[in-house]
Structure 1
Amino acid sequence: MSQTVGFIYAHPDDETFLSACLIRQLADQGHRTVLLLATKGDAGQKNGYASHLSNGELAEVRVKEMEKAAEILGLSAVEHLGFPDGKSNTVDENIFIDGIVNFVNKYEPSMLFTFPADGGNFHPDHMTISKMTTAAVLSGRCPSVGRLYYAMSSTLMENGYKPSIVIDTEQQWPMKAEALKAHKSQMFAIERYFGKLDSFPENRRYELFVLAWEKGRMNHAGLVEGRL
């Protein structure tokens, strides 16, 4: 039976960095995948052709880049909350949570994926979207959601958490590389993380996720086996 699966991240390109192959696999299996982004990436890097753009103009470019990546990934819907990039932690928490709840209740996903509490790299926007998504789920206002997953981070690993879902990206690397290339304005950051996209990065081989919450209970042991 097909499901709707939601991904909630901070910036355009987070979805591809963390979960391109998972999204594509779900779409290929007939599931509906939907994405909510806290910002439009207006404070992102401006390399090459985008170097002269204002923040507002960059936001427009990144929304278009996200549309192209969404086609590659098979995303059914992409929405942006439009909060200030780099400053989403200044947004009123009630407004933030309401935005997430409204998105969830519009599409009714059975599971959600987001950043872990440390944001993966302690980026304030990443940490904020993790906090707000978790708060939305724990609020009891997202009744369709049965599971919440966090992308694996070094902090989670150091604290003994084990991945519930492991996606080997090697076979799908050409697709993931094309989705990364769609985010053209951010290519410097992308290549710092993945290297040149014409070769498979063995050190970035796996997309890993930890089951953080299931049907009303936080998973503090980190040992729950994930099921899609």
Structure 2
Amino acid sequence: MIVTRCKTFLFIFAHPDDETTSSGGTMAKLVRQGHTVYVCVATKGEEGTLGSGGFSVKRSDLPRVREQELRDALDMYGTEPPIFLGYKDKQLELIGQEELQGRFYQIINAIAPDFLITFGPSGISQHPDHIAVHKNATAAFHTFQSCHSCSKLFYVAIPDMYNDFDLNLSEIERNPNVIIDITDEFDLKIAALRNYKSQEDAQFMAKFFEQNKIYFESYAEWNGADTPSIRDQF
């Protein structure tokens, strides 16, 4: 992925904190390079955990809390304000494909991104919401791309060092061909993860990234085949 002039990036995920776990450093880096970054989340994650450490939150307050945590993270990165679709957590697979694809298409068409980044076929964790986002965002992108052939689609990809997580990844998700060095953005990403105080997973991942010194994020370009093409890093 060679980026030589200011571009527009759109990240589509299922829940607040998906963006930071997978792409927080990349987003911050892109903004610092002068690019425009948008983030769309399908739900507010109201079925997530109710706190971590000494922080606790009521179930009824969780959507508001997670929304604010996402806004805080994106403020740290300097992106555009988040786009919330407002669907119910853990129910995306129950929504008709026509509706969800249509909502994603509206967002993609309005923003007209040069690059769309979302989940790959397994959603990394096999979460049904992640997989629904993958299927419907990909389908919406294909419709958009039919009139905007210069736009590119990338999936979050995981290298072999994550084997301990026993992830059932698709071929494209196991073969990243874009590696983003986030050394300069690493502390910012960790701070954003730590700020997701409502979510135990976010705290676990912050600790994991720190202990393993994971100073990169990785992606695979979708090129219409089962395996990605080899592209340059940026």
TM-score by length of 1: 0.86
**Aligned AA for 1:152?**
A
Q: Per the alignment, do residues 60 and 77 of structure 1 end up closer, same or farther by CA in structure 2, a change over 3 Å counting?
A: same
In 1, the alpha carbon distance for the partners of 2:37 and 2:48 equals: 25
In 2, the alpha carbon distance for the partners of 1:140 and 1:115 equals: 18
Matches within 5 A, 1:36-115: 36-47=40-51, 48-54=54-60, 57-115=61-119
Residue number in structure 1 paired with 2:34: 30
Cα deviation for residue 160 of structure 1 reads: 8.8
Matches within 5 A, 1:1-228: 1-47=5-51, 48-54=54-60, 57-140=61-144, 143-144=147-148, 146-153=151-158, 155-156=168-169, 162-186=175-199, 188-195=200-207, 200-202=210-212, 204-213=214-223, 218-226=224-232
**Aligned AA for 1:180?**
L
In 2, the alpha carbon distance for the partners of 1:92 and 1:3 equals: 32
Cα deviation for residue 226 of structure 1 reads: 4.9
What is the root-mean-square deviation in Å for CA atoms of aligned residues?
Answer: 2.3
Provide the secondary structure at the position in 1 that maps to 2:86. coil
The answer (yes or no) to whether the contact 1:27–1:33 under 8 Å persists in 2 is yes
In 1, the alpha carbon distance for the partners of 2:8 and 2:173 equals: 30
**5+ residue gaps, structure 2:** 159-166
Provide the secondary structure at the position in 2 that maps to 1:195. helix
- Name which of structure 1's ranges 6-15 and 201-210 shifts more when overlaid on structure 2: 201-210
In 1, the alpha carbon distance for the partners of 2:182 and 2:212 equals: 9
Residue number in structure 1 paired with 2:164: none
The answer (yes or no) to whether the contact 1:161–1:223 under 8 Å persists in 2 is no
Cα deviation for residue 225 of structure 1 reads: 0.9
The answer (yes or no) to whether the contact 1:33–1:77 under 8 Å persists in 2 is no
**5+ residue gaps, structure 1:** none
Provide the secondary structure at the position in 2 that maps to 1:77. coil
**Aligned AA for 2:226?**
H
Provide the secondary structure at the position in 1 that maps to 2:231. coil
Cα deviation for residue 36 of structure 1 reads: 0.6
Cα deviation for residue 173 of structure 1 reads: 1.6
Q: Per the alignment, do residues 222 and 171 of structure 1 end up closer, same or farther by CA in structure 2, a change over 3 Å counting?
A: same
Tell me the matched-pair count: 219
Q: Per the alignment, do residues 142 and 195 of structure 1 end up closer, same or farther by CA in structure 2, a change over 3 Å counting?
A: farther
Q: Which digits, 9 at most, give the CA deviation of each residue in 1:148-185, with x for residues without a partner?
A: 00001455576795322102333322111111122221
Q: Per the alignment, do residues 125 and 158 of structure 1 end up closer, same or farther by CA in structure 2, a change over 3 Å counting?
A: same
State the percentage of identical aligned residues.
27
